[in-house]
Amino acid sequence: MTTDPTQSTNENTEQTELFYEDRFWEQYVGKNLVTDPVIAIVELVANCWDAGAKKVEISWPETSDLPLKIGDDGEGMTKTEFYRRWGGMSYDRILHQGDTVQVSFGDAVRSRHVFGKNGIGRFAGFCFSSRYSVATAKNGERNTFIVRKGSTRPFEFDYISSEPTQSTGTTIEVQKVTGSIIPAETIRTELGRRFLTDPSFQVLVNGVRIAFEDIENKGLEEIHIQVPGLDVEVAIKIIDARRPDPTGRQHGVAWHVLGRLVGDCGWKDPEQNSLIDGRRVEAKRFTFIVEADLLHEAGAVKPDWSGFEEENATFKVVNSAVQSAITARLLEVTKDKRDETTTNVRRSFAPEARQMSPLRRERWNEFINQVAEACPSLKEQELTTVAGVLAKMEVAGSRYGLLHKLHALSSDEIDKLHDVLTEWTVDTAKLVLDEIQVRLKLIDELTLKVTDTKTLEVQELQPLFHRGLWIFGPEFETVELTANEGMTTVIQRLFGATNQTGSRRRPDFAILPSSSVGLLSRPSFDRNFESETGVAHLVVVELKRPGVVIADKEISQCWEYIAELYRAGLLQEGSRVEGFVLGSEIDPIEVEGREYKGRAIIYPRSFSGILTQAKRRLLCLYDKVRSAPFLQEVGINEFLEEPQSACDELPIEAELAQAK
C-alpha cells in the first residue's frame, strides 16, 4: 500500500515515494513560464515556429472555464518522437534535432533557425491548467495524448487514441482555463511584437491574423531614412516588446523584400555587435523591420533568400544608412541607463576626482561619457575599471603617457602585455628588465670604448669592467667581491704609483705605467664566522690600453703582482686567485689560461672576445631587442648595424655552454 504523499510523516507513517509540489515547476522552468500567460503563449507559438509551421491558429477564451487551443501546420511528431521529446526531462533540442528546421514553400525549401534549445516550452500549457491534450500528426497518423502534472513524477501522460490523417502538425488544447484571462487584443499585440519578423509565418487569434496594426502605438514606431546617393527612402518599423523575453532570438533586425523575410532576424551587423549583445535587455526587447524592396531590383538578394550579396553596391549603401539609423535609435533608448551607469562610476571615484585640477576632472568626466557611448555593451563594473585607470593616470605624474603607448600597440602586442602582467607583477617585471637594461647598456658602452684608442682605461674602462664582473662567468653572479684597499696600497707602493691622480679618486685600483690593476676580494672567516682569517677569493683585473697585444710579458706581469701579495702575507695557501688580463689582441700562443704554481690562474682576454662572451651570457638578447627604446641613443645604432656573427653562428645551447 502506497502512503498518501500529502500526508504528514511521523514515526508511525513512512513515505516510500518521491513527490513533487507545484513550486517544483517554478524552480525547474522558471516562475514566469507557468504563471504569466503572455510568456506562456509566446513559448507555445515559438514551439510552432521551431516545428516548421507556416500558420498558427489560436482559439483564445474570452472568459475562464473555456477551452484554449493552439494548432499549427508544422512537421508534427510520431508516437515514438512524442515519447522521446515530451517525456525527456531537460530535453536538448539542438543535440537531437539541430538548430534549424526545413520549411517548404511550394517547390522551394528554406532553412529556418529555431528559438528553442532547452526543451521547456512544452510545459507552458501548465500555465493554464494542470492538464492539457496534445494531438500531433505525422506520417499519415494522428496520435493524441493527455499530459498532466504528477504527484510521484513531475508530469505524466496517457496515450488516448490514434487515427489516420493526411495532414501534419500539432494542436495543444486546454479544456478549461484556470485563473484570470487577458483580452484577445492583448495577446495579438504581444505576439505581434515578436512574430511579425517573417511575413510567411502567420499567426491568427480567434480567426484574426496578427498585423502591425495590432501593436499599440507605444510599442510601434516607423521611421523613414533617405539613402545617400539614391533617390529613395527606406522604411524601418521599430517594435518594442516592452519587456524582455527569455531569449533574444525573437528580436533583432529583420529585412523584408517584396513581403518576404531575407535571411534571419537577429543582431548580426558588426556595428550592432559593438553596441549590443544578446545578453542585454535591449536585445531581448527591440525588433527593427527594414522594408527595402529596391534591393530585389538591384539584384542584392541571394537566389535562395538566405541573405544578401554583400558586395552588391546598392546593398552596401542601403545597409550603411540602415545600420547608422538603428545605432542612433539604440543609443537613444540606452541613454538613461548610460547616464545612471556613468553617475555611479563617478561616485565611486569621488576621492580621486577631488585630487584633480578642474581641467583634469572635466577631461576625465568627458572621457567616461565617450567610452560609455562608444562601448555601450560595457557593464558598469567594466566601465568602473576603465574609469579607475584613467583617474589614477590623471593623479599620477606620467598621466596619459601610458595610454599613448597602449594606443600605439597592435592587438597582438596588447595580448602579449596582458600575458606578461598575468604571469609577472609590475614590480618584479621592472626589477628583471632594469637589470637586463643595465647589462645591455654596459655592453654597448664597453663596445664603444674599447675600439677607441683615445679611451682612458682608468677613468673610463676600469669602472665599466668593475660593474661587469658577471661577464667573466656565471660564478661571479653570486660571489660578493669588493674593493680591497689594503692590497691596492701594496701594489701602489711596490710600483711607485702612489702619486697618480686616479688612485686617489678610485682607491679600488692601482695605476701602473702601461695599465691599471683592479683588485676585488671576498674575505674568509673562522669556523664561527666571527672574524676574518684572510682572503677566500681574489680577482685581479688588469686592463691594457687599447692597441696593446697581450703576450707572455703581460701575463707574467700580472703574476708578479699576485706573487707580491703572497709575499706581503695578504694571501694564504687556500686563497682562490684568478687574474684577467684584457687588451685589444692576444698573442696566438697565449690564448689559454696559465696556472702559476697552483696558486693562481691567469686568463688573457681580448676586448672583442669578452664582449662576445657577454652577449652570449645574455642569451644574445642584444640582437633580439634592437628596437628597445633605451638602446636608441647616439652611437648605439651604429654598433647595432655591425655584423653580430658571435650570436648568429651558434645555437643557444652552444652559446650557454661556451659562456660557462
Is residue 356 domain-resident? Answer: yes
Same domain for 473 and 391, yes or no, is: no
Our measurement of the distance from residue 101's CA atom to the centroid of its chain's CA atoms, rounded to an integer in Å, reads 34
208: in domain:
no
Domain residues for the domain of 599 are 434-659
* Predicted model pTM: 0.50
Whether residue 10 is contained in a domain is answered as: no
Q: Measuring CA to CA, which residue among 71, 74, 186 is closest to residue 132?
A: 71
Residues contacting residue 426 through CB under 8 Å, at least 6 positions apart = none
Note whether residue 419 is domain-resident. Answer: no
Predicted local confidence at residue 141, as pLDDT: 97
Residue 211 lies in a domain: no
Q: Which three cell numbers stand for residue 546?
A: 687599447
- For residues 367 and 227, membership in a common domain is answered with no
225 plus 314 within the same structural domain: yes
Nearest to 281 by CA among 232, 224, 341, 240: 240
Looking at mean pLDDT, say which of 103-112, 158-167, 472-481 comes out highest. Answer: 158-167
Of 543, 536, 537, 535, the C-alpha closest to 580 is: 543
pLDDT, averaged across the chain: 77
pLDDT of residue 654: 41
CA distance 628 to 652: 21
Report, as an integer, the average pLDDT of 493-511.
44
CATH code: domain of residue 255: 3.30.230
Element (H, E) at 418: helix 411-423
Contact 593, 571 (CB under 8 A): no
Domain shared by 84 and 146, yes or no: yes
Q: Are residues 309 and 458 in the same domain?
A: no
pLDDT at 504: 36
Mean pLDDT of all residues in 176-195: 84
Same domain (yes/no): 371, 481: no
Whether residue 319 sits in one domain with residue 180 = no
Whether 149 maps to a domain, the answer reads yes
Q: What is the CA radius of gyration of the chain?
A: 43
Domains of the chain: total? 4
Of 480 and 26, more confident? 26
Q: Is 80 exceeded by the pLDDT of residue 643?
A: no
Same domain, 341 and 325: no
Same domain for 649 and 510 = yes
In this structure, the answer to whether residues 323 and 340 fall within a common structural domain is no
Domain finish residue from 371, 391, 408 = 408
Let me know if residue 3 belongs to a domain. no
